[in-house]
Amino acid sequence: MMTVASDPLPFESALPDIAWPAPVSPRGMAVLSLLFQLERTERWPPELLRDFQRRQLERLVAHAASHVPYYRDRLMPLAGVEGEAFWQAWQRLPLLTRADVQGAGDDLLSRSIPEGHGELAEFFTSGSTGRPVRALRTELAQLYWNAVTVRDHLWHGRDLSGKLAAIRDSTPGKALYPQGRRLERWGFSTAEIFATGPCVTLNILTATEDQLAWLVRERPDYLITHPTILDRLLRASARTGTKPDGLKQILTISEVLPPGLRELCRQVWGLSIADTYSSREIGYLALQCPQAEHYHLQSETVLVEILDERGRPCAPGEVGRVVATPLHNLAMPLLRYELGDYAEVGEACGCGRGLPVVRRILGRRQNMLRLPDGGERWPLLSSSDIGRLLALTPIRRYQFVQTHLDRLEVRLETARQLDDDEARQVIEWTRAKFGAGLRIELTFPDVLAPTATGKFEDFVCLL
């Protein structure tokens, strides 16, 4: 089939005799019909979004109470409650933790799936305990996922006829250097809607220098990868001068985007990052606004609550725990699932979208600084903070580790040894950022290691 190479949205006709406008496949039509609605609902005021979220939640709750053993008694307080009273009862519903999910096992699976929700797909989530949890998702829930994926492409104005490079697969023996793997299309979310350009993939365990060489050779338009991988690529690129040509934008997924990485990406490759916030069990929680570096919650597919220590919704500027309820997966309803992440609520966005704003995602509690008075706070390092630190000395990589209540270890990977004056300036910067009363110790490991889960944290509390 012919597609115009320069068409940024190359719709794929399902009928060989019709070239344009394209009648896409029934599955593609289903995603497009959701997108048509999403393009309108994203402009709705927050109150209207909230009201429609409640309507969907009421149905989800009714289904869970009738067909999911785990919820049979737990949802009694919500039975028959409507309107604002529903929200009040909802906020008293206990949070569902990962340990609860592991403990509940098959009791969280629905005994009956209504017609029209399609086949069930099984997947596993691992998490920090390393103990996998079996989960189920309906085909319909997957359709909503696909719609949000396409929404992300549209928001960020991507040319879908371009070439996508993905460094995200860790399956042993798959997509190995030097060839990687070549696919005709970007992936399942855009399939049967767009005749996208090709996708090339490389195993995430490939050495950084080889990843860079592969990108230079492949000349993709877009790169999708984890922040940890991007950070290593940018540093290798800055060190060696090797730089991939033709890249238009970087897409980051799967980990919390550390402060400073956007700036580094702009400096080294001259490119912006479009980040997404998702989890395997929940799906998408938020997409980055196309006009700002904060995130919009995906309120049409998930209810996200950001709660303070007392379980009340946080106001703009406050940081709280992230609690999510996917709205459409009736195979395994997760009601008020606590992800373990923290996020800061943002002010309404100037872009015209009514979808609530998350200013930043902060990761896990172990990334909080413990204070001598028993409190905790987030070590909020802005991009300009990091910029000032990097300007002091030739630092390649840094990590702050709170080892005692009054002691902070600053681990630095540097291009050369620091002189006394530079070391003093780094200590002063650290005290100014983290607290005047702290004892600061600089250490210089050869290589800074990621955590056991392969992710890199730039602040860790060991207490």
Instruction: Looking at residues 242 to 301 of the shown chain, list those that interact with Zn ion (rule: CB under 5 A).
Output: 289
Residue whose CB is less far from Zn ion, 289 or 362: 289
Q: How far apart, in whole angstroms, are the C-alpha atoms of residue 226 and residue 232?
A: 10
268 or 349: CB nearest Zn ion: 349
Tokens of 375: 């409190």
How many amino acids of this chain bind Zn ion (CB under 5 A)? 4
Q: Is 349 in the site for Zn ion (CB under 5 A)?
A: yes
Using CB atoms within 10 Å of the CB of residue 141, give its burial: 0 to 12 exposed, 13 to 18 middle, 19+ buried: buried
We find the least distance from the C-beta atom of residue 42 to Zn ion, in angstroms, to be: 9
348 binds Zn ion (CB under 5 A): no
Site string for Zn ion, 140-169 (x = CB under 5 A): ------------------------------
CB of 351 to Zn ion, least distance (A): 3
Select 321 or 359, whichever has its Cβ closest to Zn ion.
Answer: 359
Angular region, 139: left φ>0, alpha ψ -120 to 50, beta rest? alpha
Of residues 348 and 392, the one with the C-beta less far from Zn ion: 348
The residue within the footprint of Zn ion, chosen from 29, 32, 120, 351 (CB under 5 A), is 351
Contacts of 424 (CB under 8 A, 6+ apart): none
Query: Do residues 383 and 263 touch, judged by C-beta distance below 8 A?
Result: yes
Which residues, at least 6 apart from 76, have a Cβ–Cβ distance to it below 8 Å? 65
Pick between residue 351 and residue 401 the one whose CB is nearest to Zn ion. 351
Rounded Cα distance between 165 and 216, Å, is 11
Closer of 236 and 355 to Zn ion (Cβ): 355
Rounded least distance, CB 242 to Zn ion, Å: 35
Nearest to Zn ion of 231, 275 (CB atom) = 275
Q: How far is the CB of 358 from Zn ion (least distance, A)?
A: 11
Residue at token pair 């940890």: 228
Helix or strand or coil: residue 383?
Answer: helix
Rounded to the nearest whole angstrom, what is the least distance from the CB of residue 50 to Zn ion in the complex?
Answer: 18
Q: Which of the stretches 6-14, 186-194, 349-357, 402-410 binds Zn ion when contact is defined by CB under 5 A?
A: 349-357
Q: Does 35 bind Zn ion (CB under 5 A)?
A: no
Minimum distance of Zn ion from residue 348's CB (angstroms): 9
Query: Could you tell me if 167 and 231 are in contact, meaning their C-beta atoms sit under 8 angstroms apart?
Result: no
CB of 227 to Zn ion, least distance (A): 21
- Cite the beta strand spans of 247-374 per DSSP E: 249-252, 273-279, 283-288, 295-297, 302-307, 319-326, 337-345, 357-364, 369-370
Alpha-carbon span 68 to 62, nearest angstrom: 10
Q: Give the SS3 label for residue 102.
A: helix
| Smaller CB separation from Zn ion, 205 or 351 | 351
Residues at the contact surface with Zn ion, assessed by CB under 5 A: 289, 349, 351, 353
